[in-house]
Amino acid sequence: MDAEFAADLQAVALTLKLAFVVTGLLLALGTPLAWWLAHTRSRWKAPLAAVIALPLVLPPTVLGFYLLMLMGPHGWVGEATQALGIGLLPFSFAGLVVASMLYSMPFVVQPLQTAFEAVGARPLEAAATLRAGPWDRFAHVALPLARRGAITAAVLGFAHTVGEFGVVLMIGGNIPGATRVISTQLYNHVEALEYPAAHRLAALLLVFSFAVLLGVYRLGPRGAAVASPTADGAPRP
């Protein structure tokens, strides 16, 4: 029982670590991507948006399978990582991060893109006439005005990463401490007919997911404004 509980805790800790790392990387990568999608008139906009949205409709196993091929010893990515001395990504935490990023990307990019589109060009033009350069406009006008989308993106990206299973199983396997997350640990419990333990993890995920969604829906346009920082980063009086 104690050993089983310790294994559960290890899975929870790994899941949280994975979700934080993936969310952080996705915000860093997804923000410029969403900005570009919101403002470009390039003919590559539609194809790229479609690629980003693929995980929404594909079975995770399909994505996981192709990633396994790509990152395996004979895939392009696998050959590249080996040549760089990183080794192979599948069945490692790094591989899990890469796969999770692709899988959760639409949940981060789409809310951000919608928010940037809603801000529109005019506030940025006004800021330009008020001596704000491009980065200044982005940081102090576009981002604060799009903050609701940014918060939604972070929360959904985090929650979706916590809850994934198929891709993890394909890419990560089920290695304790390295790639065994809550959902795979839950799977192990069920396979072993340890239903009380399975209940514990399942209920945890259920409550967590509900709380996250409740938070997102509570975060109405008005609700988000209450806790908004000013352009200086100082709290609103």
- Report in angstroms how near the CB of residue 127 gets to another protein at its nearest: 7
- Tell me: does residue 233 bind another protein (CB under 8 A): no
**Which residue's CB is nearer to another protein, number 117 or number 194?**
117
Of 25, 36, 65, 144, the residue at the interface with another protein (CB under 8 A) is: 144
Nearest Cα residue to 201 out of 23, 1, 2, 5: 5
x/- string (CB under 8 A) for another protein, residues 198-227?
---------------------------x--
Residue 26 phi/psi, 5-degree rounding, is -70, -35
- In sequence order, which ranges of 120-163 are alpha helices (DSSP H)? 122-129, 134-137, 143-145, 147-162
Of 88, 128, 178, 202, the residue at the interface with another protein (CB under 8 A) is: 128
x/- string (CB under 8 A) for another protein, residues 29-68?
----------------------------------------
**Rounded Cα–Cα distance for residues 87 and 217 (Å):** 42
Q: Which amino acid is at 120?
A: G
Helix, strand or coil for residue 132?
coil
Of 41, 57, 85, 129, the residue at the interface with another protein (CB under 8 A) is: 129
Residue with tokens 């390295």: 178
**Which residue's CB is nearer to another protein, number 137 or number 180?**
137
Nearest Cα residue to 48 out of 64, 32, 61: 32
Tokens of 121: 């060009």
The contact set with another protein (CB under 8 A) reads 122-123, 125-133, 136-137, 141, 144-145, 147, 225, 228, 230-231, 236-237
